[in-house]
Amino acid sequence: MAVENIPVREGKPNLKDYEKARESFTWDEVKKNFSWSETGKVNMAYEAVDRHAEDPKKKNKTALLYSSPDREEKVTFSDLSQSSNQFANVLKKYGVSKGDRVFLFMPRSPEFYTSFFGILKVGAIAGPLFEAFMEQAVRDRLQDSGASVLITTPDLLGRVPQDDLPDLKKIVLVGEHDQSGDKYIDYETEMNAASTDFDMEWVDLEDGMLLHYTSGSTGKPKGVYHVHNAMIQHYATAEWVLDLKEDDVYWCTADPGWVTGTSYGIFAPWLHGVTNVVRGGRFTPEDWYGTLEKYEVTVWYTAPTALRKLMSAGEEAVKKHALSPLRHILSVGEPLNPEVISWGLDAFDLRIHDTWWMTETGAQLIVNFPSMEIRPGSMGKPIPGVEASIVDNEGNELPPNQMGNLAIKEGWPSMMRAIWNRPEKYESYFINGWYVSGDSAYKDEDGYFWFQGRLDDVINTSGERVGPFEVESKLIEHPAVSEAGVIGKPDPERGEIIKAFITLNDGYEDSDELREDIRKFVKTGLSAHAAPRELEVKDSIPKTRSGKIMRRLLKSWELGLPTGDTSTLEE
Ligand code: WTA
């Protein structure tokens, strides 16, 4: 279905003229908005929280509008400033200091945000883990990062490994529990005893702030390392792309275990002192429309998977709700189908603005601005201060309309600064001064970028990145499984689903029960979103002569496509 270009709407976007902004822009202009440009004292926690708490006009403003099926809470900037001071005191008391890694493994809750800023206030590096992770996923991340403290809930404690984690000294438990022993810290007791005053640890713009683990096509998940300097880009994009204004009520639906949930679920709105809605619990269309309505959300950042689900819930569902405050919708994480944009025009009478970026890039890079014509199916254009291009494998730029590697000129403010423990992996992203994203795309004559697909084997299921190697490794831990190859299979709702091909060990027979048991094994061992939806038993898995699983071939077979060059196939 062809969907026509959608012209700019009436209104007063913060960024009025995109082309003009690009011409003369320098990042130094944005730096003027931060207190550190005058004081020299830097900390994200100051700019996002304490700065507003010190402002008599803002301190009693609602920072967080939290709700979940069984809890609702309003937290002001002043509340958040004080509670995060308390938590910083707790961490300090137990010896946490600058550069230490402190991980969070808990559902979205006011305590999550309190802890998160407490971590930053002592100068430590926060590592948020998605609450659906199971033991193996938690273990890999804690081991690699060498985290010394973990904050979790009694419900999730069962998934926290109790061995093989020599660096993990303390576990903070949020909620009622019956753990005793030196290793455990009771959140409530310690918070009650802690002072609401804290001497912020001032850091350097290049000091570590955040570790987000993400999946590649090979090996274990990698720790993408971000520094405080990223705030420059969070601030700017919140203004230009989210179009945030002082009185907005903003809702980003992403979990802070993923980068969207931190960069745009924490930093971007709060750097501007904007009221931030956080909704915990599972997705249902009724609940999501209800949240938009109840909190009179004005700006909404979500993902294609959710939009597709809302779309399939039908027109009735949306028309039941009064959503007139909503004025701006954005999407990220996977290709945004033109059909969904077209539905958005009917359902909300609003344009849906696609944005492209990655865990590694730390913030939005290629976007549809409110002040720009939308070409449905296109990710839009690079933000001011960023140069994007399509390059070949040697890093040479390609002409318009030619497909190649989507690449960004090195040096934007929110760029990752390292892959934790893996300098060679970090280096491998860069060719000839370009950061090469792993996505393929082309650029049209007018400078709009069009996403084509991933160039590696990384699977994007419902907007979440899953590494096939991780799933394969888990599968072969099951006693019945001998070998495994995992691919992403196109799916109309989820973008891709995970399909696994396996061979069985002697003595095992293929059956529905066995396949279900294997699926469950991945689900409970690794994480629900990484469990294959489809499992197929094969006599053999195609491998190269050097023993690498040929996922491309599996995919071609699955999709009935030509198999291409198979000269490296084992036999
Ligand atoms: C994909 C999420 C198409 C892409 C912020 C990228 C997209 C990966 C888009 C990063 C988009 C992200 N259109 N694909 N607008 N945005 N992607 O690290 O393949 O979880 O490389 O970061 O998601 O996923 P990540």
Q: Say yes or no to pLDDT of 570 above 70.
A: no
Determine the atom of ligand 1 nearest the C-alpha atom of 437. 21
Residue 190 binned pLDDT confidence (cut-offs 50, 70, 90): very high
Residue 356 C-alpha to ligand 1 middle, in angstroms? 6
Helix, strand or coil, per DSSP, at residue 243: coil
pLDDT of residue 547: 78
Q: What is the pLDDT of residues 228-277, one digit of tens each?
A: 999 999 999 999 999 999 999 999 999 999 999 999 999 999 999 999 99
Residue identified by tokens 């396949």 is 515
Does ligand 1 have an atom closer than 6 angstroms to the CB of 333? yes
Q: Which residue CA neighbors atom 6 of ligand 1 most closely?
A: 358
Residue type, 459: I
Residue 456 C-alpha to ligand 1 middle, in angstroms? 13
> Please, are residues 6 and 354 in contact by the beta-carbon 8 Å criterion?
no
Determine the atom of ligand 1 nearest the C-alpha atom of 358. 22
Q: What is the pLDDT of residues 330-383, one digit of tens each?
A: 999 999 999 999 999 999 999 999 999 999 999 999 999 999 999 999 999 999
Does ligand 1 have an atom closer than 6 angstroms to the CB of 46? no
pLDDT of residue 262: 98
Does ligand 1 have an atom closer than 6 angstroms to the CB of 332? yes
Residue 333 C-alpha to ligand 1 middle, in angstroms? 4
pLDDT of residue 567: 67
Query: For residue 123, what is the DSSP state?
Result: T
pLDDT of residue 564: 72
Does ligand 1 have an atom closer than 6 angstroms to the CB of 330? no
Query: For residue 6, what is the DSSP state?
Result: B
Instruction: Taking residues 476-497, report their average pLDDT.
Output: 95
> Please, are residues 418 and 426 in contact by the beta-carbon 8 Å criterion?
yes
Residue 545 binned pLDDT confidence (cut-offs 50, 70, 90): confident
pLDDT of residue 511: 97
Q: Which residue CA neighbors atom 13 of ligand 1 most closely?
A: 335
Residue identified by tokens 């979940």 is 68
pLDDT of residue 73: 98
Q: Which is more confidently placed, 493 or 58?
A: 58
> Please, are residues 151 and 190 in contact by the beta-carbon 8 Å criterion?
no
**Residue among 466, 530, 463 nearest 305 (CA):** 463
Determine the atom of ligand 1 nearest the C-alpha atom of 458. 19
> Please, are residues 206 and 227 in contact by the beta-carbon 8 Å criterion?
yes
Q: Say yes or no to pLDDT of 568 above 70.
A: no
Q: Which residue CA neighbors atom 5 of ligand 1 most closely?
A: 358
H or E segment to which residue 486 belongs: strand 481-491
Tell me the Ramachandran region of residue 490: left when phi exceeds 0, alpha when psi lies from -120 to 50, beta otherwise. beta
Instruction: Taking residues 491-515, report their average pLDDT.
Output: 96
Query: For residue 396, what is the DSSP state?
Result: P
